[in-house]
């Protein structure tokens, strides 16, 4: 237990809350490259036929622009020049969709093609979202025990829920050690 300058006690549990916030930040995403799949406000990020690499984040749902494709697109993942995996888009109401939850960041992704010729090229990245704790107008580095913490991940276009099971168990183990 540590005493701060204003005389309040800061426990190991408070420090663990800050650690949870940092872990949440590494799990969710908001930063995207300048050329990337884009959203028009819906659930899906739009992929178009274009020569520039389009960056997608793992966990995003992709919609292939229905003006560009007339058949379900197939995304091929190449690693070190070899075909590793293919993902075929599913059709729903005349539109084509792919879920990127099970994709890997290694390799290069080609839509309807291979390194020598393709209709679109994708790159996959892990989500990353910086997180700041704020009280009123100022940033803080910890929260008092019992303070409600709300993490709003709405609007970042990821379909995955945050999975904190391992984090919560880690906090419980370390809280017992701190006694």
Q: Domain check: are 104 and 66 in the same one? A: yes
Domain identity same for 15 and 69: no
d(CA 88, CA 61) in angstroms, rounded, equals 13
pLDDT tens over the chain, length 179 residues: 444 444 455 566 666 666 666 666 544 433 333 344 665 556 678 888 888 899 888 888 899 876 778 889 999 999 999 999 999 999 988 889 998 888 988 889 999 988 889 999 999 988 776 667 777 777 777 777 777 776 666 666 555 555 556 666 666 666 666 65
Same domain for 114 and 50: yes
CATH number reported for the structural domain that contains residue 84 in this entry: 2.60.40
Is the backbone of residue 167 left (phi > 0), alpha (psi -120 to 50) or beta? alpha
In Å, how far are 47, 53, 64 from 50, measured between CA atoms? 9, 8, 12
How many structural domains does the chain have? 2
- Supply the range of the domain harboring residue 19: 2-30+129-178
Alpha-carbon distances, residue 11 vs 15, 140, 162 (angstroms): 7, 16, 26
Pair (154, 166) in one structural domain: yes
The confidence score (pLDDT) of residue 53 equals 92
- Same domain, yes or no: 15 and 49: no
Dihedral class, residue 177 (left if φ above 0, else alpha if ψ from -120 to 50, else beta): alpha
Mode of pairing for the β-strands spanning 82-88 and 74-79 = antiparallel
pLDDT of residue 30: 35
Alpha-carbon gap, residue 3 to 14, rounded angstroms: 12
pLDDT of the residue at 27: 47
For residue 111, what is the enclosing H or E element? strand 108-111
Count CB atoms within 10 A of the CB of residue 174.
14
Residues in the chain: 179
Q: pLDDT value at position 111?
A: 93
Note whether 110 and 44 are same-domain residues: yes
**Same domain as 61, residue 120:** yes
Cβ neighbours of 17 (radius 10 Å): 18
Residue with tokens 């276009």: 157
- Please indicate, yes or no, whether residues 77 and 92 belong to a single structural domain of this protein: yes
Same domain, 14 and 42: no
- The CB-side HSE value for 90 (13 A sphere, CA atoms) comes to 5
Which pLDDT score is estimated for 143? 73
In this prediction, residue 78 carries a pLDDT of: 95
Q: What is the predicted pLDDT for the residue at 38?
A: 61
């Amino acid at each position: 237990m540590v005493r701060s300058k204003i005389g309040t006690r800061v426990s190991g549990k408070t420090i663990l809350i800050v650690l949870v916030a940092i872990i949440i930040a590494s799990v969710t995403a908001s930063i995207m490259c300048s050329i990337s799949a884009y959203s028009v406000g819906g659930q899906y990020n739009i992929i178009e036929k274009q020569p520039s690499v389009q960056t997608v984040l793992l966990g995003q749902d992709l919609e292939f622009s229905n003006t560009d494709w007339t058949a379900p697109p197939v995304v091929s993942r190449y690693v070190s020049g070899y075909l590793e995996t293919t993902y075929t888009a599913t059709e729903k109401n005349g539109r084509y969709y792919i879920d990127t939850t099970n994709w890997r960041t290694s390799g290069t992704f080609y839509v309807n093609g291979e390194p020598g010729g393709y209709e679109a090229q994708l790159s996959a990245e892990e989500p990353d979202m910086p997180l700041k704790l704020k009280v009123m107008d100022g940033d803080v580095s910890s929260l008092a025990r019992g303070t409600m913490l709300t993490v709003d991940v709405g609007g970042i276009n990821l379909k995955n829920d945050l999975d904190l099971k391992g984090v919560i168990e880690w906090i419980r183990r370390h809280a017992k050690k701190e006694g």
